[in-house]
Amino acid sequence: MTGYFSDIWRLRYFWLALVRNDLRRRYRGTIIGIGWSLLQPIAMTAVLCLIFGQIFHQNLREFAPYLLTGLTFWAFITAAVMQGCQSFFQGESYIRQHPAPLAIYPLRVVLGAGFHFLLGFAIALVFVWFLNGFGHLLAVLYLVPTFALLFVLSWSLAVCMGVANVVFQDSQHLIGIFMQMSFYLTPIMYDPHKVLDPSSRLLALFKYNPFATLLEMIRKPLLDGELPSLWALGASSAFTLLALCVAALALRCFEKRMIFYL
C-alpha cells in the first residue's frame, strides 16, 4: 500500500506536467484564457440570482454566495466523476507503454478539476467577504480539512468511475443520468428547508445525500460562520471512506488486468 503511494509520488513530475498541460490546452487560443474559468460561475450566478431571486423572493446578499458555492462544488464533483470515466482511456497510450500506478490517471483529472474549483471558490470568498464579511475566521479555517476530505472523495470517485467505465462502457451514460438527477436532490440552487414543506418526505433525501452533507460542510463555516453539524461531518467522512474502500478494491482487482479491457 505504501509502496503504491510512493510509486505515485515518484512519478509526480509526470502527472503534474500532464495536469499543467491539460489546463493550458483548455484555454489554447483564447484571449482571456483562465478568465473564462472565473467568468463562467459568476455569469451563472448572476442569471440564477435574477430568476430565482424573483421566484423564491430570496435575499440576494445571502443567495448569491449560496449559489456560487453550490455551483462551484457541483462543477467540481461532476468534472471529477465524468472525466474520471475517461481517465484511463485518456492515458491509454501511456498505460500500453509503461507500467505505472493506474491511480495517477484519475488523479490527473481530479487535480485539473480541483484547480478550477479553487478558482471558483476564491471568487466565492471574495463575494462573501464583500457582501457580508466572514462570520468567524476560525470557522473559515475549518474549510481546509474539508477540502482534504473532498480531494480524497473525488479521487476515489474518479478511480471508481474510471474502472467501471473501462469494464462497462455504458457506465458513463448511466453516471451522467445519475449526476443529473443528483443535481436536483442536492441543495445547490435552493435551500430545501426554505422551499419545501417541513413535513415533506423529500427532506430525508436531502439529509442522507452525501453531496448535500459535504456541501453543508463548506457552506456552514463560510456563509454562517458556524461549524457544520456532527451529522454532516460523520456522513461525509463515512461516504468518503466507503468510496475510498471501493476505489482500493477496484484497483486491487483491475490494476493488473486493466490493460486487457482497454
Taking the least distance from each CB to other proteins, the nearer of 208 and 261 is 261
Check binding of 28 to other proteins (CB under 8 A). Answer: yes
Q: Does 30 bind other proteins (CB under 8 A)?
A: no
Contact residue for other proteins among 2, 177, 204, 260 (CB under 8 A): 260
Binding mask 137-176 for other proteins (x = CB under 8 A): -------------------------------xxx------
Residues 81, 179 contacting (CB under 8 angstroms): yes
201 binds other proteins (CB under 8 A): no
CA atoms within 13 A on the CB side of 11: 20
11 binds other proteins (CB under 8 A): yes
Q: How far is the CB of 35 from other proteins (least distance, A)?
A: 20
**Which one of the spans 12-20, 127-135, 138-146, 195-203 is the region binding other proteins (CB under 8 A)?**
12-20
Q: Which of 35, 99, 145, 234 binds other proteins (CB under 8 A)?
A: 99
Locate 163 and state its grid cell.
474502472
| CB half-sphere exposure, 134, CA atoms < 13 A | 14
**Shorter beta-carbon distance to other proteins: residue 28 or 57:** 28
Q: Does 3 bind other proteins (CB under 8 A)?
A: no
Interface with other proteins, residue 252, by CB under 8 A: no
3-state secondary structure at position 226: coil
97 interacts with other proteins by CB under 8 A: yes
Contacts of 262 (CB under 8 A, 6+ apart): 88, 89, 92, 95, 96, 166
Give how far the C-alpha of residue 75 lies from the chain's centroid of Cα atoms, to the nearest Å: 6
Q: Is 13 near other proteins (CB under 8 A)?
A: yes
Q: Which of 93, 180, 200, 229 binds other proteins (CB under 8 A)?
A: 93
- How far apart CA 238 and CA 111 sit, in angstroms, is 22
* Distances in whole angstroms, Cα of residue 20 to Cα of each of 115, 151, 203: 10, 18, 41
11 or 185, CB closer to other proteins? 11
* Nearest-5° Cα angle at 243, 100 to 66: 115
* Region of 8-16, 31-39, 81-89, 231-239 interacting with other proteins (CB under 8 A): 8-16
CA 259 to chain centre: 28
Alpha-carbon dihedral angle through residues 108, 113, 114, 120, given to the nearest 10 degrees? 160
Pick the closer one to other proteins by CB: 36 or 94.
Answer: 94
The site string for other proteins over 230-249 (x = CB under 8 A, - otherwise) reads: --------------------
Rg, the chain, Cα only = 19
Instruction: Kindly report each contact of residues 47-53 with a partner whose C-beta sits within 8 Å and lies 24 or more positions away, as own/partner.
Output: 48/189, 52/189, 52/190
Contacting positions for other proteins (CB under 8 A): 10-11, 13-14, 17-18, 21, 24-25, 28, 93-100, 168-170, 256-257, 259-260
